[in-house]
Each structure stands twice: as C-alpha cells, then as structure tokens.
Amino acid sequence: MKKYYNMISLTLVLYNIRSVHNVGSFFRTADGAGVKKIIIIGHTPTPIDRFGRQRTDMHKVALGAELLVPWEYFKTWEEAYSLLRANGAKIIAVEQDKRSILYTEPAGRQTKECMDKVAIILGPEVEGLPEEILSNADTIVEIPMYGQKESLNVAVAGGIVMYGIRTHF
C-alpha cells in the first residue's frame, strides 16, 4: 500500500481531556495520521499512570499506538505553549467560537511555507478550550454540524481535523 505523506509536521495537543478512552482513541488516530508527537496537558491521562504502570484501559483502545507515538506531559498550558512557539509551530485550536473558520480552510489564511509545523489543540467536551488558549492560537477551526446535536465526541472531532489538515497541505 502506498503511503501519502506531505511535508507538514503535525503535533496533537490534548488539554484537560479526562477520558482515558478518548485519549486512547487519539493515540490510535494520531498514529494513522502521521502525528509526530502528542502533548498532554493538565488532567489529561497519560499512557503511564502515576505509579509508572502502563494503563491497560488506554492500551485496549489505542491498540499499542500509545507505544508508537511519542508523547510529553506538561502540567500547564503555558509550559506547552512555550515549547510549541520555540519550535515554530502554528497553533490551530479546535473550538466552536465566533472567530472560528471551517477546519478545511486554515491554508487559506496562512501560506503553506509558514504552516510546515502545526499543533492542533483540543480540549474538554463540555467546557471547551479556555480563552487563554483561544487567544494565543493562530487559527481557530470548527467542524460544521448538520444534525440536531451541537458537537461531536472530542476524539472523533480530532480525527476529522487531523486528516482534514493533512488533506489541505
């Protein structure tokens, strides 16, 4: 099977996502989407529990992808933000917001030359991303909803955006 990779370096940032199953889904999808690294922030569970043991519940969902995709934990957004900016990443926040554009359009707002390193950040489903993160993002994107529900599961939304950004670069 031929692999289709573009030059974009993709990082996934998970901010205060509490569900171990959602995080496991992110690892599995991130592996498929060619994500270079997952940054885990705050209350988001890591593949290793506080006792240094592998999380079997995450492993069951991730099917081992948590062992393949490199990850790093930060206690606060500020720490992660400093690293992302130091590495030259453009930050794309996924959130329903009055400033958001369709997830398929970030290339229209930025040139491909300045989008070679992209960090996609997702947050908790109920509260969403805080203003501090949204105001520091280069772009805020959302997925259009055509049914009666106002949002998707965060891991599903993340997968759509990861592959959507890959498709448009």
User: Which CA distances in Å does 3 have to 15, 33, 165?
Assistant: 30, 11, 16
Residue that is written with structure tokens 């670069």 in the block:
169
Query: pLDDT tens across 95-119, in order?
Result: 999 999 999 886 555 545 556 799 9
pTM of the entire predicted model: 0.91
Q: What is the pLDDT of residue 116?
A: 78
Please check whether residue 4 lies inside any domain of the structure: no
Please check whether residue 135 lies inside any domain of the structure: yes
Query: pLDDT tens across 11-69, in order?
Result: 999 999 999 999 999 999 999 999 999 999 999 999 999 999 999 999 999 999 999 99
Query: pLDDT tens across 113-166, in order?
Result: 556 799 999 999 999 999 999 999 999 999 999 999 999 999 999 999 999 988
Please check whether residue 2 lies inside any domain of the structure: no
Please check whether residue 3 lies inside any domain of the structure: no
Domain count within the chain? 1
CATH number of the domain within which 162 lies = 3.40.1280.10
Q: What is the pLDDT of residue 6?
A: 56
Please check whether residue 53 lies inside any domain of the structure: yes
Please check whether residue 39 lies inside any domain of the structure: yes
Q: Residue 52's CB: how many other CB atoms inside 10 A?
A: 6
Please check whether residue 28 lies inside any domain of the structure: yes
Q: Residue 101's CB: how many other CB atoms inside 10 A?
A: 15
